[in-house]
Structure 1
């Protein structure tokens, strides 16, 4: 180490140096063959040179002395403190991340030993050529692009002395190859770390999410909360939603290091607090079963995607939440390349998109559960009141059709739900003849009471709110007034209404459980073990806004749909089920989306099942067959849960 108390000039130590003053000799006793005058002149010249040299030497010495005084006396304490600071290092200890378990105690997300490559930007070679040589070797060794390595710290100032992770998921063979050279590469570190791994990939990818490096835009937030730039944090899904619980808290290690910054001995250690585990309400076997069922149906129908949700209507517990297609979240935890990420982004099926909570679609006829409940509650039409369906209604020359040519005849609410009779819902929604109808304002009021146009408050990030159109919205966005026909379309789930599959499942649960709207919950408990974990209690969002009698009428209509209506295929189930199909038109050039929503057993419901198949043509053709498989699986396996 260079002594800070010494003054260095090139390689010489000036503190110990000897000044080369005049050392020549004058032969005092020898008189050279010359005149006295010449000798006197020669001596005078030598004396003058000595005086000039001595004066310069004194001047230089004065400068050196003053500099030594400043360094040794004035700044001595500062240098000493710096030397001591370099001798002791404080090393943060990242805690082990909590494990995620499913309903049956199966591990879904946990940690495995791994190697990671880090860079300290301020220590990198000063020349671009030297730096490029290092990254060229790393690129070949790891089999990834040079750009992907450098991109990892592109937003970090080159003056930063904090460790920045470039990549993890390095194999042992690669680690050995890198270790041979890493000591000669300034600014490059190879260190053992823990990597997040997932037992099940695609089917749970949207639910579990994945972890990754802290992004530039998030760094300010995390740095204020005692996070290290090198830490991995949850990016989506439960990994993000429960980040602080899963992470735990940092430990710290004080170590003495030598002049080469190598640890010599540990002085003090505070262990980190391990992150809490998550215990889910989800059955991973059911989740995987549904994913495969959606995959088969989307391939058969050439559909771009699908969603399926299974809820316990008794408390809002989520038993399955599937969005197809999914993605390999393991690839993200290892460190996905920019080319692979770009491929996912450009995939027309949008595998990164969680359709179950963020997909917004026209509700189709599933909205008739809400419209029917509101009509009964407001006294628009009672249990036994009927309208005549002749195939549609004519309003000032505009035709609003039933789906069935020739109509359904005399229709009450039970029959209207069983066969999805549009004429009935046009009438109770917008009014017809001497029947007033709910009108737009009351439809919006009850839609919101059932949880529409707002988040369900599920414990996942990035949930969409859906949409209920209004007169003001139409005027401002389309420059048109609201027409009666708009209300008719809204009453059968067409037009501008948008819902998420989770919202449909949630308002179906209101009918199934007798009138309570819960916030769906994926996590059951949070803690180091299940027995002592913190219970996530059910959250009631709304209740008692529909009379139990009217709820029962809607239940009868959904049961009738299985007995003789649009979902007769469910009548073969080993238990009584209730349900409703939906067909949601959204484009004149593409097939409509297919819906099913329902529950079983009819008299004491255990599960609500909601299915959406994009461009699936009709609910009975693609959504109901999937629901049937789910009901069968549940009642063959639920005794094992």
Structure 2
């Protein structure tokens, strides 16, 4: 009953009534203190204010700064040097290669700014690379700290250094590893004076050509320098991703490199090595400090071989020991970097005589069959101001009565004194005409070979002597020039070019190393045709007399060692006096051509301080002529 009474007095509220009756809804709410609501409101406003203030600080007040930092610390673009073109010999044998190389590069602007951080960075890098701290510190000290252009810190990373670097690079800002190529010379020193070498760009290189960056290599000598623009190619574009701490995150290739163009040479690699080995053996035998030799195509001027000794291994410029080795070579008194073929100044000695004979025939100053008296082995000339003073000009031995052919065969000095400077009833050419014809044959100014560093020789004359020595010109000076002594200076390249002109009937060709340029698909871009410097130097009929005399030098003269070759050759020896530390020495010369009936190749050899040309230079030439015969056996024996 009581329960029923309670049920009758109980007021039940349906859910829908809550939405319709405020008073009923109030019966279900739990009251909250007003102070609590206010506290929540204040905290919310403070948080929003802080967010707004921070956003204002970042977006408005520091917006420019962080925008700059974001742009610097995202992706940067650099250029990576292209693989250089390949150099081949005339038989398509590879003389240069591009091999993969992993190099460690620095971005100077990204190095640690604080001294203690940089010192710690230096210690870590030095330990990884096996360098001392001072070496790395000196390197970084000289960098432009505002530059973002990479510069090489270490070339050709070895595997151990590479593994350790890969582990530590995330904590070493300003560094990244670049995948590049380095130049390699498979044959090393055999072709060093021909091909030359590459080296790091210098400040002057950067100023001269905007193509290069600080980490690039450029041709420094030889064909590498002469044909730099053809060999260098188009660089790759690489993208480097870095974080805000200047740590490199990723390196990507944006644009592929285009390899440089190739060079096909006129050089025969087998002949180059044979000639080098032959000369080196003779240098060892005679204790010679240096030597040079060059072989060319007598009918085009194409250089088949060019050897200068001592030489050097041009691979030394591609490793991290370069500086030490380079200094050792620089300090070598025999100058291994010096290209003696194109820049060596040598007294011509008797090798000048074929050209004096050619000049006398061209000027009709003597009949080639006229015999000059050389029975005494000398001539005497009185002083024009004091007859009691007599000058004696010696031959190397009495030769009897000699005509032009015989004089060339036995190298009779007296004969050339007389046809050069005159004596008794022989008028002689005189220095002016001697100078004229020697320059026509290519002596004096450079010939224009496609190698850097070519030097010209010297044909002295009265004006030169007056200006340089402050002395008058005498007949004795003309006599000395006529036998290649005194102040006559030539290069081996000039001599071989002049001998080729005698052999081919009077055409002086411009010497050329490179045959053609091809692209990476072996398509010919440019082919170099033979170029004539001068032609018709002397009538070929008169040059034939000179050639006969040079052939007689083989059959009955100083070049007798070549008599038993399977082909007929012609040539002239020379023994030129030089003076070093007041001790008289002689350079051993030979120049000649083959085959005698139809000359194809010409050669010039000089071995410094080796004595007689007949015993030092001629044996080397014999190996070359034998090689030529073996290579052309079928053609020569038709």
TM range (shorter): 0.7 to 0.9
Please tell me whether Structure 1 or Structure 2 has the larger radius of gyration of its CA atoms: 2
Matched position secondary structure for 2:95: strand
**Corresponding residue number in structure 2 for 1:164:** 151
- The answer as to whether partners of 2:293 and 2:307 remain within 8 angstroms in 1 is yes
Distance in 2 between residues matched to 1:541 and 1:445, nearest whole Å: 15
Deviates more, 1:84-93 or 1:461-470: 84-93
Write the mapping of 1:150-299 to structure 2, written as runs, cut at 5 A: 156-223=143-210, 226-253=211-238, 259=244, 262=248, 269-299=254-284
**Corresponding residue number in structure 2 for 1:309:** 294
1:391 aligns with 2:383: no
Distance in 2 between residues matched to 1:149 and 1:381, nearest whole Å: 74
Q: TM (normalized to structure 1)?
A: 0.83
**Corresponding residue number in structure 1 for 2:603:** 609
How far apart are 1:424 and its partner, in Å?
Answer: 1.1
**Corresponding residue number in structure 1 for 2:329:** 344
How far apart are 1:504 and its partner, in Å?
Answer: 0.8
Write the mapping of 1:45-64 to structure 2, written as runs, cut at 5 A: none
**Corresponding residue number in structure 1 for 2:452:** 461
Work out which of the residue numbers 336, 344, 365 in structure 2 matches 1:359: 344
Distance in 2 between residues matched to 1:327 and 1:143, nearest whole Å: 27
Structure 1: gaps (5+ residues): 1-14, 19-60
1:141-177 superposed Cα distances (whole Å, 9 cap, x missing partner) = 5556667666767765343221112332332233223
Work out which of the residue numbers 492, 496, 499 in structure 2 matches 1:505: 496
- The answer as to whether partners of 1:258 and 1:264 remain within 8 angstroms in 2 is no
How far apart are 1:253 and its partner, in Å?
Answer: 4.7
Matched position secondary structure for 1:591: strand
- The answer as to whether partners of 2:169 and 2:247 remain within 8 angstroms in 1 is no
**Corresponding residue number in structure 1 for 2:92:** 105
How far apart are 1:610 and its partner, in Å?
Answer: 1.1
1:185-229 superposed Cα distances (whole Å, 9 cap, x missing partner) = 333333222111011011111111111110233221132xx2222
Matched position secondary structure for 1:181: helix
Deviates more, 1:345-354 or 1:238-247: 345-354
**Corresponding residue number in structure 1 for 2:29:** none
- The answer as to whether partners of 1:202 and 1:325 remain within 8 angstroms in 2 is no
Distance in 1 between residues matched to 2:278 and 2:393, nearest whole Å: 36
Distance in 1 between residues matched to 2:194 and 2:408, nearest whole Å: 33
Work out which of the residue numbers 438, 459, 482 in structure 1 matches 2:473: 482
1:121 aligns with 2:87: no
Aligned residues: 577
Distance in 1 between residues matched to 2:137 and 2:469, nearest whole Å: 48
How far apart are 1:178 and its partner, in Å?
Answer: 3.5
Distance in 2 between residues matched to 1:335 and 1:353, nearest whole Å: 23
> Structure 2 vs 1, CA of residues 475 and 170 (structure 1 numbering), >3 Å: closer, same or farther?
same
Work out which of the residue numbers 625, 628, 632 in structure 2 matches 1:631: 625
Distance in 2 between residues matched to 1:365 and 1:182, nearest whole Å: 67
1:54-91 superposed Cα distances (whole Å, 9 cap, x missing partner) = xxxxxxx9xx99x979x839x96796477446534323
Matched position secondary structure for 1:461: coil
Distance in 2 between residues matched to 1:86 and 1:239, nearest whole Å: 38
**What is the RMSD computed on CA atoms of the aligned residues?**
3.0
**Corresponding residue number in structure 1 for 2:509:** 518
> Structure 2 vs 1, CA of residues 533 and 484 (structure 1 numbering), >3 Å: closer, same or farther?
same
**Corresponding residue number in structure 1 for 2:401:** 410
Matched position secondary structure for 2:578: coil
Work out which of the residue numbers 559, 571, 594 in structure 2 matches 1:567: 559
**Corresponding residue number in structure 2 for 1:577:** 569
